[in-house]
Amino acid sequence: MRICGRKEENPDKKRVGMEKATFGAGCFWGVEETFRQVKGVISTTAGYMGGTLKNPTYKDVCTDKTGHAEVVQIDYDPSVISYNDLLRIFWETHNPTTPNRQGPDEGTQYRSVVFFHTPEQEAAARASMEELEKAKVFMRPIVTQILPAQEFWPAEEYHQKYLEKRGISHCSTN
């Protein structure tokens, strides 16, 4: 649509041809920062998925009673980066063999999970996990859940681009 001779921005800020991916790999601050740096990733949003409470807050999720995982929802351009490449980054940047834990963070909200948005994403996630298991890339079995995407709840604003706002590139595990 044109307005006054210029093209109108998409009001949803969704770009035509973009796809979504949603990953939980521990604390969403580091996951968000990792994917935000990837060429072809258009936007990242830290949030919650997979639980029972509507519109959960960080405080709610931290009770370990809502069933939500801390996740990052990614809008990406599949003509620049493939879902398989996003999966590769997901597997390489966390430990998918530790149930409900990443580094010092412990609880179900820190579980390793792929929330798929399409049957193709489900097939790709399962195939990549099977390939890693067969190749014995990890010393222990992968415990990552592969589940259908559910309602996504964006985290509070202070969680968005958390590391970038603080001028740091990764979470400290000290």
- Read off the pLDDT of residues 3-33 as tens digits, 9 standing for 90 and up: 333 333 333 445 678 999 999 999 999 999 9
The enclosing domain of 46 has a CATH number of 3.30.1060.10
Model pTM? 0.88
Options 4, 27, 62, 171, the catalytic residue: 27
What's residue 172's pLDDT?
58
In angstroms, the Cα distances linking 152 to 3, 104, 130, 155, 167 are 33, 25, 27, 9, 27
Q: Is 62 a catalytic residue?
A: no
Q: Do residues 115 and 147 make contact, with C-beta atoms less than 8 angstroms apart?
A: yes
Domain of 46 in residue numbering reads as 17-157
d(CA 117, CA 135): 27
Q: Do the domain assignments include residue 12?
A: no
Residue 35 inside a domain? The answer is yes
Whether residue 10 lies inside any domain: the answer is: no
Would residue 112 count as lying in a domain?
yes
- Is 169 domain-assigned? no
- Could you tell me if residue 24 is inside a domain? yes
DSSP category for residue 73: E
* Unique residue bearing structure tokens 């859940």: 145
Residue 2 is assigned to a structural domain of this protein = no
**79 token code pair:** 């003509």
CA 139 to chain centre: 24
Task: Locate the DSSP E strands across 26-67.
Answer: 41-49
Q: Give the pLDDT confidence score for residue 157 in this predicted structure.
A: 93
Q: pLDDT over 70 for what percent of the chain? A: 89
Residue positions counted in the chain: 174
Number of domains in the chain: 1
